[in-house]
């Protein structure tokens, strides 16, 4: 992996075997455009002809200036882009502009985005990513979601959420892509419990086949919205302070989840996969009791192998 900006200085040296680099980490402090001169960072990135992963880091250098336009080399081998948006940096375009970078990365399959864009960036040209299958949301605002919903993402099937300010923010997303989404994954945030995010997902994703979530951080699945295509549910057992492992509250919470998935609202559900550490409870009689409705339905409960 190439980390640009660590002890490079003004007299930077082109890394040997740059054509073998697969992953590059590029902080915004390395792409400041305080002069019209070409950026050293771009000279390095241009030589990384086999680059597959690019990470833009949300560092906060001071002082910074993005007063001049910059460019971005073609990135035909790029498969994954982890992008944190900077409104100030985006003014300079090129490597600092998400739209520009996506425009020179036609083979991208994975995109994670974060940041809160200003309204004036809504008018940037739409993006066409024919091979993008996976989209990950970190922390975004409504303008970012609206901008993304104007893109063309014909292969999008997997959507991951790390953080949500509110589930209603993503209605435009479901209107644009909900019918083609097959997998949803919810991250480690209690907002998915407090806001009942699953209810919004079931309303918007009519062809959902697989759902992964943290069982102690997610609201119990609603049974008033049938999901006839859902085949696999993955539940991670990461604990939280509300449910001490093995306590009465713990078992009651787990029972509510298992009971919901056993309902007729999920006729195609055949497999429940347990991720994380379940060793403290998996062999308990209480677990067998809680899991019985699912097993009676014909579901297989599997413990995922750690990799």
The pTM for the full model equals 0.92
Task: Please identify every stretch of the chain with a pLDDT value under 50, giving residue numbers as ranges.
Answer: 6-11
pLDDT at 15: 59
Closest CA to 41 of 56, 53, 61: 56
- Is residue 189 within 8 A of residue 166, CB to CB? The reply is no
* Residue 233, CA distances (Å) to 23, 187, 205, 262 in order: 32, 14, 15, 11
pLDDT at 192: 94
Q: Mutual orientation of helices 285-297 and 248-261 as an angle, nearest 10°? A: 10
Helix H, strand E, coil C: the string for 32-93 is CECCCCCCHHHHHHHHCCCCCEEEEECCCCCCCCECCCCCCCCCCCCCEEEEECCHHHHCCC
pLDDT at 7: 44
pLDDT at 37: 85
Phi, psi of 55 (to 5 degrees): -120, 120
- What is the distance between the alpha carbons of residues 154 and 42, in angstroms, rounded to a whole number? 30
Q: Enumerate residues 6+ apart whose C-beta is below 8 A from 81.
A: 53, 54, 56, 101, 102, 105, 108, 110, 111, 112
DSSP state of 283: T
Annotated domain spans of the chain: 1-156, 170-307
pLDDT at 60: 62
- What is the distance between the alpha carbons of residues 85 and 140, in angstroms, rounded to a whole number? 9
Beta-bridge mates of residue 274: 235, 303
């Amino acid at each position: 992996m190439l980390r640009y900006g660590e002890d490079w200085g003004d007299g930077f040296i082109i890394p040997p075997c740059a054509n073998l680099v697969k992953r590059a980490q590029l902080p915004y402090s390395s792409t400041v455009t305080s002069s019209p001169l070409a950026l050293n960072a771009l000279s390095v990135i241009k030589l990384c002809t086999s680059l597959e992963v690019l990470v833009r880091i949300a560092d906060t250098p001071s002082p910074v200036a993005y007063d001049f336009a910059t460019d971005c080399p073609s990135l035909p081998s790029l498969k994954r882009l982890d992008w944190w948006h900077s409104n100030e940096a985006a003014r300079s375009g090129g490597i600092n502009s998400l739209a520009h970078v996506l425009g020179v990365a036609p083979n991208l399959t994975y995109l994670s985005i974060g940041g809160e864009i200003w309204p004036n960036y809504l008018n940037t040209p739409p993006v066409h990513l024919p091979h993008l299958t996976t989209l990950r949301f970190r922390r975004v605002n409504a303008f970012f979601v609206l901008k993304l919903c104007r893109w063309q993402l014909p292969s999008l099937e997997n959507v991951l959420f790390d953080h949500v300010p509110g589930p209603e923010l993503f209605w435009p997303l479901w209107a644009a892509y909900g019918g083609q989404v097959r997998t949803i994954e919810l991250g480690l945030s209690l907002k998915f419990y407090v806001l009942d995010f699953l209810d919004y997902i079931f309303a918007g994703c009519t062809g959902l086949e697989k759902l992964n979530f943290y069982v102690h951080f997610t609201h119990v699945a609603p049974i008033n919205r049938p999901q006839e295509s859902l085949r696999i549910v993955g539940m991670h057992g990461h604990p939280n302070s509300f449910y001490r492992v093995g306590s009465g509250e713990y078992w009651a919470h787990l029972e509510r989840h298992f009971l919901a998935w056993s309902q007729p609202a999920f006729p195609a559900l055949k497999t429940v996969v347990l991720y994380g550490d379940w060793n403290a409870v998996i062999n308990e009689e209480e677990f067998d009791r809680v899991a019985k409705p699912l097993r009676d339905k014909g579901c297989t409960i599997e413990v995922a192998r750690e990799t």
